[in-house]
Structure 1
Amino acid sequence: MKDVLIKNWPKELPKTLNYRLGEKPLHEYLMQNAVDFPNQPGYLYYGNTITWKQLSDYTQKFASFLQSKGIGKGDRIALYMQNCPQYLIGHYAIQMLGAIVVPLNPMYKPSELIYFISEAEIKAIISSQELYQHIESIKSETLSLEFIVTTNYIDLLPEQLTLPLPEELTIEKRIINNTYDMKNIIQSTDPLSKTEEIDIWNDVGLLVFTSGTTGRPKAAMLTYGNALFKTAATVHSYRLGEGDRTLANAPLCHIAGMVMGVNIPVYQALFCVLFTRFDTEATIQAIEKYKINKFYSVATMNAAILNYPGIENRDLSSLELNFATSFGMKVDEKLANAWKKLTKGCVVLEASYGLSETHTCDTFMPIEKIKFGSCGIATYDTEFRIIDFATGEDLPPGKQGEIAVKNPGVFKGYLNRPEETVETLRDGWVYTGDIGCIDEDGYLYFLGRVKEMIKSSGFSVFPENVEALMSDHEAISQVACIGVPDPKRGESVKAFIVLKPSYKGKISENEMIEWAKEKMAAYKYPRAIEFIDSLPATSSGKVLRRLLKKEG
């Protein structure tokens, strides 16, 4: 299988991964950027340009404060806020002390926070002002929590905005009793005198909670080396280099958004426009104004831009490469062609296959040999196996089975979950629970989750396959499928469909079923259709089928 996996390795890429500044944790890259490029813009936040020296200085001052509060190696500190420069400062300050970053999704509510804080034994939380109320309501129930730092987005906004501002960034600043204010800390604290010594491949620097497809979410323990490896592999496989200009609007609390928005700009010293969240007009303006040429997106973002009123009169011609993720809709040839036409040449491709347990980005798509429908080929130092569920034997190319992956990005295990760790992590291999296959050219195909597979009339039906076929219907904007009980078939397919605005009220559920019946096998086509306004999804855009099952 190893020879198959490297069969289409691009000739332009060296086969050995060399780290730009050596095997160092990423916070040391940040500090070195401040020395090598002190006045070079690192991030731009709605018009506020933050140089590498400024970002490094802010971070070292905040790290010094955390150290004064007793934070040290191995302590777990949470970040609970939207995308903002304060997130970057908190992330790298925590890691300068050898402590562990725990991203908490800003969509979490109090009852969820209690679980995450207790599960990870979080010692402190850095929270945005508008979310603090959720923490305040459950403080008495969280025994490990010692102190809270709050921040207002307005603290690092410019006086003169250059990009449209989301409403949540206009909240008036207030000082909250019994918390520490990040701006005051940075203004009044001396920089950290020395960073903690890090064993890069063994010390844990990040705890990422999995989405919890079954049971409660688990905290995957990722090392400083995991982050460095996956960041460097992504940078070099997609040839991100000096002078590239990027944009980050995917959630930084999600592992893919973290790689693209927190890690890559720092690793490669790239200019990055940072958004709190995706906004179509703001994204278009940023591309036009700042000549963004490398762009990470979720496919639904591309669709929103393509369908934006007057988009044909906007200038997105600076874009050269767009790596996108198929959440909510597919990155397919139709989307790629429309995007290339709009941007006058930008290549859009599937970004990668990956999961939290491997710090994501286990594959990349060769730019000169794109295969739509696939996840690309194995990245640096990465092996894949396709395993037969019944026998546990490795399967040859073209056969479907469970995907297992091994590389230097593989996590150390789940925090306080030895049984789940043994089940998932075996001899350095992550058994993903995903179904897939590898073709003769070494391209990986993700076919679905084992636990989401639908058994209809004895056949295995992958929701993603039905969704891809349904997406050919001109009226469908988004679609997600689940299995529902059926007395004759065991299970049958139910499709939840978001119609394009122009088709609402003009097509019936029965008409959609009849259309599907003509397009796919009898065991596969949806027996039930439900039109809904939007699909439940994570902040990163990943559709939550388990919530549809509750409705279905």
Structure 2
Amino acid sequence: MPPFTHVRDQVVTDASSWQDAVSRHAWKVPEHYNITADIVDSWALSEEHSDRAALAVLDENDHLDEVSFGRLRELTARLGTALGELGVRRADVVSIVLTQSIEAAVSQLAAYRIGAIACPISHLYAGDALIWRLQHSQTRVVIANNEAAAAIAARRQELPDLRHIVRVDELWSLIDRADADCSPANTRAEDPALLIYTSGTTGNPKGALHAHRVALGHANVSYLLEGINETDRYYSPNDWSWIAGVGNGLLAPLGFGATVLSMGSRPFDPHATADFIDTYRPSVGYLPVSGMRQMRHVGTRLTHRYRAILTGGETLSDDLRDWCLANVTDTINNGFGQTEGNDTLGVVSGWENPPPETVGRVLPGHEAIVSDAEDAELPDGTEGQLLLREHGRPVFLLEYFKNPEATAELKKAGWIHTGDTVSRDERGYFHFAGRGDDVIKSSGYRIGPSEIETVVDAHPDVLECVVIGLPDPDRGQVVTAVVRLAPGADEALVREQLIASTRAKIGKHAYVRRVEVIDEFPKTVTGKPQRAVVRQHFS
């Protein structure tokens, strides 16, 4: 058995360069490992750290409610006992439909503690989308906000596996009545722990089933934040229902002993977020590119600066990076990942001088290639599918839950087939072109939307954009920018400028030839524009 069992022991803390970290990094995955035993109990049982804040959540009365590691251990133990009394057993699914809150964190961590599977579901889901996830996951107990709980109760007959609905306002009485004597289950690192459903923009979503070892795999957050430890305060608006929110925003910071800050149930607002950051002074965190765009648009300038932030989900343009460095943080790095396996590529500014608008190099502990349709490795500079080596990397999923066909398509010959189209330059940096089904095929060229979107997004009157291919009788598809404009923008002038700027900066083969204006983008619950819906609307 490896001698180390903690998230905090996975990274090379004194690495002087990317090459140094890559050469010395080795995943330390023990046979037995329990997420909560590591990221909560190992701190709580230390006299030095037990009273330190693990969570600090802004309540409805604008009071910051702090929970120490010692108290968090007690709460997860009590809820673990209560879940057991409700009939939850090892590998049963406990679904959690809550916003960022103490209750959401305690519910997830209690499920891990007893060896159950936590299935966080965004509070934004309703109706058939919510019921489908509860059905497919075979949820035994659901812990939900009052509105969701009422909706679930109304369709209880459609959920044959569901035994109990716990409303959030009932949760504390359940915890208070339960015994705190609940030791972590002796789970194996390979035992299932976390079930997260993909956004499902086309077809039914797939459930990515992760093992307890997924927490260890998220230790790479430390590289992307250029070091994180027990003196840090971590803040991100990302909900704890998605892999970036759960892995980067909850499991990893707690694993390194940091305090996780939260604005609670408040929706993202650039002004309120700036006030929160200035008041509670996080040192590290994650801000999505879309959130930074909104902050830039309203002229945010923080009086307190982050030491380092991580971003991702889409390409970070150079102009947005420059704005962020001037107004928000001392360091900004972008990471790349998927629900199936997070934090696999990234930029670490302190180690390198990356080229413009890259998703980064392979992070320590990972291996990646660009492949053709037959999985043969392609030379640098050629676009193909991104493949990631699976074996021994703890961040990758066990399987798609109850979907062996999709699992077989994802995992082939030891590689994770991401479906993302990328190229790699001679320095080893990857450049994102788009999802496989997002690539535009125009006049015989395969055109990735990402770099075109970067140019379009730089226009001062463009608030959001999506670049898609629309049917064209001559070219097959025509490169089209769909944009949401600032109030008062001159649409005709913006069209002219976007066509001219993309022609000059991208090239004659791939510039924007058509511009469409939209009032609001249809989005997934993670806030990403639904390209397929936009494409269908304008086709």
Scaled to the shorter chain, the TM-score interval is 0.7 to 0.9
Distance 2:522 2:281 in 1: 33
Superposed CA offset, 1:247-273 (max 9, x none) = 131111010011222202220111121
**Where do 1:100-499 residues align within 5 Å?**
100-152=117-169, 181-200=170-189, 202-225=190-213, 227-236=214-223, 238-275=226-263, 276=265, 277-308=267-298, 311-312=300-301, 314-317=302-305, 319-327=306-314, 330-343=315-328, 346-350=330-334, 352-358=335-341, 360-368=342-350, 369-371=352-354, 372-389=356-373, 391-406=374-389, 407-499=393-485
Aligned residues: 508
Tell me, in whole angstroms, the C-alpha distance in 2 between the residues paired with 1:518 and 1:14. 41
2:532 matched to 1:546?
A: yes
Contact 2:35 2:113 in 1 (8 A): no
Kept in 1, the 8 Å contact 2:79–2:174? The answer is yes
On the 8 A contact 1:220/1:357 being kept in 2, the answer is yes
* TM-score, length of structure 2 as denominator length: 0.88
Structure 1: distance between partners of 2:28 and 2:238: 25
Cα contact 2:215–2:252 (8 A) shared by 1: no
More off after superposition, 62-71 vs 108-117:
108-117
Q: Given the superposition, is the C-alpha separation of residues 453 and 475 from structure 1 closer, same or farther in structure 2, using an over 3 Å criterion?
A: same
Structure 1: gaps (5+ residues): 1-5, 153-180
- State how 1:63-102 maps to structure 2 within 5 Å: 63-102=80-119
What SS does the corresponding residue of 2:66 show, helix, strand or coil? strand
Contact 2:199 2:525 in 1 (8 A): no
Mapped partners of 2:204, 2:16: distance in 1: 40
Say if 1:10 and 1:366, in contact at 8 Å, map to a contact too: no
Instruction: Decide whether the 8 Å contact of 2:228 with 2:253 is kept in 1.
Output: no
Amino acid at match of 1:432: T
The residue that corresponds to 2:61 in the other structure is: none
Shift of 1:305: 2.5
Is contact 1:385-1:394 (8 Å) kept?
Answer: yes
Paired with 1:315 and 1:302, the residues of 2 have a C-alpha distance of: 16
Aligned AA for 1:361?
A: D
1:228 to partner: Cα distance? 2.2
* TM-superposition CA deviations, 1:41-100 (whole Å, max 9, x none): 111111111111121211111110000111111111111111111111110111111111
Find the residue that maps to 2:349 and give its secondary structure: coil
Question: Deviation of residue 126 (structure 1)?
Answer: 0.8
Q: Shift of residue 107 of structure 1?
A: 1.6
For 2:54, the equivalent position in structure 1 comes to 42
CA distance in 1, matches of 2:464, 2:498: 14
Q: Cα gap change, 1:134/1:116 in structure 2, threshold over 3 Å: closer, same or farther?
A: same
Letter in 1 for 2:388: V
Residue 427 of structure 1: how far off its partner (Å): 3.1
Superposition pairs of residues 524-539 of structure 1, within 5 angstroms: 524-539=510-525
> Which amino acid in 2 is paired with 1:189?
A
Identity of aligned residues (%): 22
Compute the displacement of 1:117 (Å): 1.6
Structure 1 position 509, deviation (Å): 4.5
Distance 1:90 1:14, change over 3 A: farther
Given that 1:234 and 1:364 are in contact with CA atoms closer than 8 Å, whether structure 2 keeps it comes out as no
Q: Which residue identity is paired with 1:270?
A: A
Taking structure 1 as the reference length, the TM-score comes to: 0.86
Alignment partners' CA distance in 1, 2:151 and 2:500: 47
Q: For 1:451, what is the secondary structure of its paired residue?
A: coil
Give, in whole Å, the separation in 1 of the partners of 2:126 and 2:345.
Answer: 34
Q: Is the 8 A contact 1:386 1:438 kept in 2?
A: yes
Contact 2:72 2:106 in 1 (8 A): yes
CA distance in 2: counterparts of 1:219 and 1:443, whole angstroms: 30
Distance (Å, rounded) in 1 between the aligned partners of 2:467 and 2:16: 34
Aligned residue type for 1:40:
R
Counterpart in the other structure of 1:162: none
Rounded Cα–Cα distance in structure 2 between residues aligned with 1:49 and 1:21: 32
Is this contact kept in 1: 2:139–2:162, CA < 8 A?
yes
Q: SS state of the match for residue 359, structure 2?
A: coil
1:481 CA drift (Å) = 1.6
Alpha-carbon displacement from aligned partner over 1:339-382 (angstroms, at most 9, x marks no partner): 22224x611221x1111111x11123122214231112222321
Q: Which residue of 2 aligns with 1:28?
A: 37
Q: CA deviation at 1:218?
A: 1.2
Q: What letter is aligned with 1:405?
A: L
Find the aligned partners of 2:130 and 2:21 in 1 and give their Cα distance.
46
Report if the CA contact (8 A) 2:218-2:395 is conserved: no
Q: Helix, strand or coil for the counterpart of 1:353?
A: strand
